[in-house]
Structure formats: C-alpha cells, structure tokens
Structure 1
Amino acid sequence: MDATGLKEKAEAWLAADPDAATVAELRDVLARGDLADLADRFAGDLEFGTAGLRGVLGAGPNRMNRAVVRRTTAGLARYLKATVPDVTTRGVVVGRDGRRLSAELAEDTACVFAAEGIPAHVFPMLAPTPLTAFATLHLNAAAGVMVTASHNPPEYNGYKVYWGNGAQIIPPHDKGIASFIAKVEPANQVELLTPTEAYARGLWRDVPDSLGDAYLDAILKLRVHGRGSDSLRVVYTAMHGVGGAWMERAMERAGFSNFHVVAEQHRPDGSFPTVRFPNPEEPGAMDLSLATAQRVDADLVLANDPDADRLAVMVRDGTGKLRMLTGNEVGVLLGHYVLVQGPTRRSKPHLVATIVSSTQLGDIAGELGAAYDEVLTGFKWIANRAIEREKAEDTQFVFGYEEALGYAVGTVTRDKDGISAALVFADLAAWCEARGKTVLGYLEEIQRRFGLYVSGQRNFTFPGAEGAQVITRIMDGLRSAPPTRVGELSVKNVRDYKKGEKLPPSNVLAFELEGGGRVTARPSGTEPKIKYYFELKETLGSGEPVEAARARAEARLRKLIDAFIALVRERGQPEVGA
C-alpha cells in the first residue's frame, strides 16, 4: 500500500476511534510521517482465532485497543444471541488481569454486552485466568471473556473467549464469531451502557466472593496425598501477576506452612519491572526466585506466569543444586502421579497431551490401561477432546498437558490452571518427602520403567507483517521439500498436519526419525514466532546411573538440534530471532 492509501486508512480509523489516547497516538505517527509504523498498524485486522485476540497495545486495526475490543464484543454478543437461545438469561463472565488497559477493556466488554441485553458477570477485582474459566462453568454462563495477554511482554494485551462448556472456543465458533465481527459498525457507533446504567438494569453483576471460595474448595480436593508439610520449604513467584493471593490461600489451607513468596514479584504490576519477558521459561525470569530459594534453602520452587494459567517448577538435584524441570518432565510427573496414586475410579481414566509434547505420557497411559489422546497444540483442543470423549464413552479425564507449562488436573476448570497444578505438585513433593524420596528420585522411577525421554525447543521471532512472510516461507519450504535426514538420523516419516492427520488441519510439520526421535515445526498462534520441538528417547542400561544416560541423551539431542537449525538456515532462514 502506498503512502496515500495508508494515510487514508489512518484518517478513516481516527474518525471512528472512541479513545482519545489512541487518537493522539496515531496523529503523532502521522505527524512524524512514519510510514513503516503505519504499514504495520494497518497491515490487516488483528485476527480473531481460537485463542481470541492478542497483540501489541496501540492505535490501528492490527493492534489491541478499545475500538477493536468494542467491535469484537459486539460481534461476539450477536453471535451468541444467534446460537445460544438462553444467552440473555445465562449471561457472560468477564475477568481481567493486571496489565495496562485491562481495566478499560474489561469495562468496555461488559458495557457492550449489557447494551446487547446480555448480563455481564464481572469480577470486581483482578482475576487469574483459571478463575474466569471456573466461573464460566460455576455460574452456568453462556460464555466467558478474559482480558489478558498471559505471559507476553508488557506492551501486549489480549481477549480470550470461553464457550459455555468452560473450554476455549474451537471451530466452528471461532469462524462464526469472526464473521459477525466483520459486520459490526464502526467502533464509535457500537452501543454500550455506562456501568451505572448496566447495574441499574441488572445487566452488570459482580461475581460474588463465594465463587473464589468454591474454586479453592474444588482445587483442594484434587490433592492425592492431602497432608501438606511443615518441613518442605516452598518458594513461589507470581511473576508480577494475579496468582499470588490465590496461591497463598491455597497453600495455607493445604497445610504448607513453610511457604515463601518472591516479594519483589508478588504484587500485580503490568509493567513487570523485574523481568522483560514475564515467562518463567525465558532467561533471567527466575533469577529472583533462585535468590529467594537460596536465602531460605528451598526444596521446591513454583512459578506462575502473570495470569496464573501456567506453572514452572524447580527442584533440588543430587548435588543440592536447584534444577528447572522441563514442561514435559512436570507433565509426566503430574500425569503419572494422579493416574497411579489417585483414587480408584469407576470410569476409565483419560489423559491428553499435544502433538508437540513428549510422547512419554502416551506410552505410560498405554501400559497402564488408560485412555489417551494426542491433540493439536493449544489447551482448547485438550479440554474439548476431554469433554467430547466423556460424552461419547465411559471415561474420566484426569490429566492433560502441553509442554509450554500448561497443565490441567481433573475437571475443576476446562483450561490449563497454574494454581491448581502448583498445589498438586506441592502435594506430590510432600508425598515424595513422606516416602523419603526426592521429586527427581520419583522421576527416575518413572524413567527406569518407561524410558528416558529428553526434549528441547528453539524459537525464532520475526515481528511485523514482514516477519509473518518469513515464517510462511520457512514452513512452505519444509513442506515442499522435506529433509530426508537430520544430522545422523534418517527421517522415517513426515506428518503434515495441514492435511488433517485425523485432527483438524493445522500448519504443523512433524519429522519422525529413526530410533523414536521427532522434530516438529509450527508457527506460534499467539506470538510472531516459529517454533521447533525436538525429542529423543534413550534406553537406560542395566544398573546404569540415570544421570549418565541423561548426559548421553542430551548430547545426542544437542547434535540433533544443531543439525536441524543448520539445515533450515541453509534454506534461507534469517540469522536473527533466536
């Protein structure tokens, strides 16, 4: 688009933008004549997908702002009225985290729903994402909206949508909602009530405090050991997010008296002053947690991301050093624990993982007689598959996970829940302590029986519209000319999930390697990244120390990763963004 076209689009946007702050921001961009910035802001509409919306805050249709959220909510409201006959009775839950503009976006959301005649059940305080998911079920709402950008940097915000079953939306609802959004009038013409008007008409309803108590009661019942510990020293960080108060209450009620928080990161702060990228997986994000753990000589470190739907775990190794568990290791530990140590079930237990997670949970489920499914990346697929199978078969969902630190224990929420997962992991650690074992000792028991699986991941970030084109070229190249070897290993099979592969079509490629290895490539659904996932399985020798086998496996894994990245770069991937 040329400069004249960009300026015309910008002026049209300004005429319809109801927010003085973004109007001023865009006028400044025009005054500076920054055509590259304009081109990115007007590269297209921020896409509404199965995760709702997520993007950088700012003016323009390719940004998160009040204009986009008002139009999105109007479209969602009208789609609900067209598809859910009792939506005006059941209403919609609205929650928000502590990010910049979350309060304003949540208020606009509630007020647009109210203007459409749909009651909004609004959290009067900051709420973790799992609590919004729980409230959608608990209040029998027709849908739920959570204003959050999860673990993204501070310049982001987002809009996550739950269906009435408590799970994130999947097709056809995502496309249906998007089609209704496309027909919505300009943002400054979208009707919305004031909060006072909505209250007066009974269309703004505060979520009661009793709902939080119900949530805590429910997640406490997920524990298996159930005895807490006075001696287990636990450190917890909320990563400047909204999980802190809830985690404190849960751990106190569970009997973990030796509980310490990372004070510098405990209060919600959307500027995330101590971390550039508030994701426990990012380099440096756990530095303050480590410092606190060293000060109190912690046995266990638990970390939530800012909206508390993810969990990271650190435990002591054989040398006394704290080691971060991978997402797959946490998933295997929790899955095995609740499956094997949990209560006797009348229905067949059901476990679910994603196509980029370790295959080990499936091997465990198969050997122990549990039902198992592998689904596309994203917790929406885990939750909806669990619901689908419960309705069709005599199964009981007990655990699901994705390697990106997302876990669901049981059915309290139909989404990943970093608070309940942290509580159950602390319960697991207390059980290990009571047995005279360490968490890593328990993991070794599992590995000796089911094999040692090692995994790795490499992400490359390519921001903006040009970056999206780079990611497309990489995926197209791998799809049109897939490698026949990766380093020393031959490629036995290529699975192109865009063709379906018994799952909904998705832009994912998996290269299955000789010896049980796998390399998977996919673009992120929420960030401007392409992600590569790697896994190898190692068999322990008779009586071999597990650390010796791990060292051997990780050396092989490093070679595999290096070989694949070199292969992609030879095909033209830019040397940036690692």
Structure 2
Amino acid sequence: MDYRRRYEEWLNGEYFDEATKKELRDIINDEKEIEDRFYKDLHFGTGGLRGIIGAGTNRMNKYTVAKATKGLANYILKQEENEPSVVIAHDSRHFSREFAREAAAVLLSSGIKVYLFEDLRPTPELSFAVRETKSTAGIVITASHNPPEYNGYKVYWKDGGQIVSPVAEELMDEINSISDFSGIQCLDGCSLEDFHNFHMIGEELDRKYFDKVKSLSLNPEVIKEVKDIAIVYTPLHGSGNMPVRRVLKEMGFENVHVVPEQEKPDGSFPTVEYPNPEEEESFNLALKLAKKVDADLILATDPDCDRVGVMVKKAEDEYYKLSGNQTGVLLAHYIFSSLKKKGMLKKDSFFVDTIVTGRMTEKIASSYGIETISTLTGFKYIAQQIKELGDKGGRSFVFGYEESYGYLTGNFVRDKDAVIASMLISEMAAFYKKQGMTLYDALMKLYEEYGYHREELLSIVLKGKEGAMAITNMMDVMRNNPPKSIAGMKVCEMRDYLTYEGPVKLPKDNVLYFVLEGNDWFAMRPSGTEPKLKIYIGVSDLSLKAAEDKAKMLMAGIKSMLGY
C-alpha cells in the first residue's frame, strides 16, 4: 500500500478520532510530510519501537501503540501459558502515561493480567518487576535520551531482558500481520480499574528493588568514613529523581544536591536541547551548582534512568567529563579489585561489553582472570549473555557495560541500570577520596598501568527517507570497497557482522568493524533507534596526548573518506 492511500484511510476511517484527523488535515498540502508519516511502519531496532509523536504509521501514537500491543498479546497467547501477565512502566515524556494505559487496555481486553506502575519509574525497575512478578513480558514507554518530540515502546521478555531473536522476529511478524486497526479490541467504555486482573504497583515493589540495589554496595563503610563527599545530581526532568536520591540517602550520602531547575519530571525537557548525559551541554546547570557547593562528583541520568553521565573534580573549580568508556573502566576496576580483596571473585567470572566498547577494560578483566565476552551493540545482547552463561551455564556475571553510558552489575536486573551505577559511582568516589584521590586521579593511574586509551564517537544525522537511503549507500560503499589504509594506518581486517563468525556466536547485524595496525580500530553501524550513522573509533598510545592526537587523526581520515 502506498503512503498516500494510508494517509487517506487514516483521514477518513471511522476508527480514528477527530483529533487525529484534524492533525492530518493540517498537513494536507505538505506531500513530503505525508510521505514521511506514512511511507513505512515503525520497526523494532536495538531499543524497540521509537519515533516522533504524531498521527501516522511512522509515528508514535495511541494507534501504533495499540497495534504493537495487540501483536504482543497475540504472541503471548500463542505461548499457551497459564495466567500470562505483563508489567508496564513509563517515563516522563509526552503521552507516556496515556500510551501506557492504552497498552494496558489492549492487554486486558485480550484476557492478559496487567501490572501498571502507579507513576513514572526507571526502565531498570521495569526489568526487575518482570522478574519479581514472574510475568511473561514487560513494556516500558520511553524514548530514552531522544529529543522531546520522540517517544517509544520497548518490550521485555520473562527473563527481564529486552526481546532478542527469535522472539523479536516472531513478535514483529505478529505485529505486521495486523493490517486493520479497527480490529483491535479495547475497553468498550470500561476503565482499567474495572478488570479483576489489573493491578497497580508501587511502593512495595520499590522497596524490594531499592534493597536489592543497596545489597550491591562493595565498601559501605567508606560512606560513613567520608561524610564530606559532595554530590550534585540531575535527573534531567526524568524518572531518576525519586529512586536515585532515595538510594543515595539510604546508603548514607548526606551531602547530595539536586539541580532544582531539572528536578521535576517534564517531557518538554525545557533546560536542555537533548536530555542526554552523553552531551556535555546537559551538565551546564549541574556544573554551575557543583562549583557553588564545591562538589566532588556530578551525576546525570537520562529520562528513563538507564544511562548515567559523570563529571568529576579535576582541580580547584575545574571538572572533567568522563566518557562512557572511562566510567566503565573505573567501575570495572573498582568492582573487580573489591571482589578480589574480599575473596568473592570466582574463577568462572565473566565480564560483558560490546564490539564498539573500548578495549581497555578487557585488559583490566584479563589481569584479574576474568573472561571478556563482546556482544553486538544494544544492552539486550549483554542481558542475553548473562542469561546464557550465567542462568543456564552456571557462571558468575560480575559486570557489563556499553560505551553509551549503560552499566550493570548484580543478577536481579537485565538492562543497564543508572540507579545501581549512580550508587556505585558515588561509593567509588568516596573510596578514592579516602585515599586522597579524585576519580580523575584514579583514571590517570589506570592509564599508567594499562596504557593510554582513547575512544570517540561520530554520529552523522540523516533524517527521513532520503537520509535512510544515504546511510544504506555509505554502508554499501564501505562493505564492497573497504579501504586498505586510513589516516596513514593500515587496515588489517574488516569484519562484516552480516557474515562474520567470531569466537562468540552473535546474531547477524549491519555492522562493519575494521582492525587497524597496533590493534586500533573503527566501526560503523546505522542506529536502530535514530536517523544516524554511528562511527566508533578506539586507539591507544604511549601518552594521553598521543592517544588523543591519534584519535583526532583517525576520525578526520574517516570523515574525509565518507565526504562528511
């Protein structure tokens, strides 16, 4: 069906409400906008269903949410489980609560039990809730760190991890088989509360989750000993405000300052261009407060509180923003060394990262006798390894992270968890402060021991149908005509993850990974959730400046090669 026919069906169909039709009438003379809204359906990527809020098949709205949920309901019912159930959570974005209730309505109408959080909650708590309630699946309404015009829909399976193959493909087939929106049953005038199998959840489950988080503390005594450590925290208008502050307070951190302008949930994210802790601009207000209170540490979590960004004191009135890899390096060493000191590091321990994560942590893991497993990009693949090697294989998972600011330890959550990470980073800062060191000092010490590493990320934004075609073309050119050298560095190997068979069995994915001389590398992949081509690089050298210079040179060479 072409986009114009879809548009007409939405504009004239009885199933669609007047507000939707008015929105579509307003763009009746904008052919490009109509095409963009209807030329395709939203699809599942590394983060599930995600798109701009609005009317259309290529937009996030109550109809696309209902369709995805009906597909999920059909898939669950085909599993023929006794009393299937689904947990639903949401963040602070526009229409998140409405989309969550719409999903609940479709599930209840299909005879499936629903647990809905009473208010916004972090994505990792949804993962915990699926496991705790022994539910069949979970849904979280969020677009993570995307701009405010976006929202999204992520599906979790009974292990608490995001869906992976073959469930992902089978679920998508169910969703795609639904061609008639009017066939999606809903509540027929009833409210959610009228259903006996509808349950609102909140404080009781919060308490269980917080206790589990606090149980991961490695050196709780240092918090009592270093009472003067000052922390500035910003939830960036998202769902982290309550859980992060509560856990830090219960752990004994007495000097926590929350950025007042960014404390309350607000889907417009009025104080930042992007509510993304990867962006230094998102720290502007926190940095101002940190200088005022002489903070040792600044933490920023994204709207659904699964990612955390960190700034640390470098010198008097000077702060340094850690990259996702640098925070991962510090956490990995802190966790590995603390477990070893306590005699809790087991011989079968394993650490999980991704193929585009910096390689320094692998060196640290190896020095502690810990095996590194590298997966595809997307934390769902890290969770899959925890399930396969830990749950089924009986081995001990100690830590996992991806360069995009996502970290996890413990065995009760199966997604990146900024509540856990915020607690451990704060404890780690206290641990080093007791030794007269900042986290920046600790990082420099690790560089001295394991080598100076530098990683960079370039995101080329190409929107719309034309942008998607341009990204496909760039990937095809590099795949079919790989460079022999770049920036004066020899290309030793190209791994095409559509065909590559490595030491760890991975699903096929549209990723190109280039191994350079000296074990430096770069990789390319289209984002699964945003209109971007992402380019990652990783280098090492004999000094921090040499590594930084090499990284700049390599990135410049890649840009030139792509004509960007």
> TM-score with structure 2 length normalisation?
0.95
Distance (Å, rounded) in 1 between the aligned partners of 2:139 and 2:122: 12
Aligned to 1:56: 52
Q: Which residue of 2 is the match for residue 476 of structure 1?
A: 476
Contact residue 16 and residue 187 of structure 1 kept, 8 A: no
In structure 2, what residue type is equivalent to 1:470?
Answer: A
Deviates more, 1:190-199 or 1:176-185: 190-199
2:290 corresponding residue in structure 1: 293
> Superposed, which structure 2 residues align to 1:455-534 within 5 Å?
455-502=455-502, 503-534=506-537
Q: What is the DSSP-based 3-state SS (H/G/I as helix, E as strand, rest coil) of the residue aligned with 1:306?
A: coil
State whether residues 347 and 370 of structure 2, in contact with CA within 8 Å, keep that contact through their aligned partners in structure 1: no
Structure 1, unaligned stretches of length 5 or more?
540-548, 570-574
Q: Do the aligned partners of residues 460 and 49 (structure 1) sit closer, same or farther apart at CA in structure 2, a change above 3 Å counting?
A: closer
1:98–1:241 Cα contact (<8 Å) kept: yes
Residue equivalent to 1:338 = 335
Shift of 1:83: 2.1
Structure 1 match to 2:100: 106
Code of the residue aligned with 1:224 in structure 2: it is: L
Q: Distance in 2 between matches of 1:165 and 1:459?
A: 32
Is residue 273 of structure 1 aligned with residue 276 of structure 2? no
Residue 6 to residue 92, structure 1, CA distance change in 2 (3 Å):
closer
| Inter-partner Cα distance in structure 2 for 1:16 and 1:371 | 58
Partner of 1:544: none
Which secondary structure state, in structure 1, belongs to the residue aligned with residue 416 of structure 2? coil
> Quick check: 2:4–2:35 contact (8 Å CA) kept in 1?
no
Residue 219 of structure 2 corresponds to: 225
Amino acid at match of 1:226: P
SS at match of 1:313: strand
Tell me how far apart the structure 2 counterparts of residues 182 and 537 of structure 1 sit (CA, whole Å).
Answer: 46
- Seen in structure 2, the aligned counterparts of structure 1 residues 257 and 515 have a Cα distance that, compared at 3 Å, is same
For residues 523 and 551 of structure 1, do their structure 2 counterparts lie closer, same or farther at Cα, with a shift above 3 Å needed? same
- The structure-2 alpha-carbon separation of the partners of 1:440 and 1:194, relative to structure 1 and needing over 3 Å to count, comes to farther
CA distance in 2, matches of 1:255, 1:359: 34
Q: In structure 1, what is the equivalent of residue 238 of structure 2?
A: 241
> Which residue of structure 1 lines up, in the alignment, with residue 24 of structure 2?
26
Provide the identity percentage: 38
Is the deviation greater in 283-292 or in 395-404?
Answer: 283-292
Q: What is the match of residue 119 of structure 1?
A: 113
> What does residue range 252-267 of structure 1 map to in structure 2 within 5 Å?
252-267=249-264
Note the 1:29-428 alignment, pairs <5 A. Answer: 29-30=27-28, 33-83=29-79, 85-86=81-82, 89-184=83-178, 186-193=180-187, 197-227=191-221, 228=223, 229-318=226-315, 320-342=317-339, 343=342, 344-346=344-346, 348-428=348-428
For the Cα contact (< 8 Å) 1:332–1:360, is it kept in 2? yes
Distance change in 2, residues 1:331/1:17 (3 Å) = farther
Which residue identity is paired with 1:71? K
Question: 2:524 & 2:132 partners in 1: Cα distance?
Answer: 37
Closer/same/farther in 2, CA of residues 376 and 44 from structure 1, 3 Å limit: same
Indicate conservation of the 8 Å contact 1:112/1:191, yes or no. Answer: yes
How far does residue 7 in structure 1 lie from its aligned partner after superposition? 3.7
Contact 2:4-2:38 at 8 Å conserved across structures? no
**Partner Cα separation in structure 1 for residue 294 and residue 80 of structure 2:** 53
Please report how far the alpha carbon of residue 188 of structure 1 lies from its aligned counterpart in structure 2 after TM superposition.
3.1
Once residues 261 and 252 of structure 2 are traced to their aligned partners in structure 1, the CA distance between those partners, rounded to angstroms, is 24
Using the TM superposition, give the Cα deviation of residue 553 of structure 1 relative to its aligned residue in structure 2, in angstroms: 1.4
Distance 1:134 1:116 in 2: 24
Larger relative contact order (Cα-Cα within 8 Å, sequence gap ≥ 6): 2
Any unmatched runs of 5+ in structure 2?
A: none
For 1:396 and 1:12, the matched residues in 2 are separated by 54
Displacement after TM superposition at 1:263 (Å): 0.6
8 Å Cα contact 2:353-2:400 kept in structure 1: yes
Question: Helix, strand or coil for the counterpart of 1:372?
Answer: strand
Superposed displacement of residue 213, structure 1:
0.7
Q: CA deviation at 1:262?
A: 0.6
- Opposite residue 312 of structure 1, the aligned amino acid is G
For residues 484 and 393 of structure 1, what CA distance do their matches in structure 2 show? 41
Change (3 A) 1:450 1:73: same
Q: Is the 8 A contact 1:111 1:192 kept in 2?
A: yes
Please tell me whether the aligned partners of residues 296 and 438 of structure 2 are also in contact (alpha carbons under 8 angstroms): no
Q: CA deviation at 1:412?
A: 2.7
Matched residues, number: 554
Separation in 2, partners of 1:486, 1:320: 40
Residue 557 of structure 1 corresponds to 551
Match of 1:447 in 2: 447
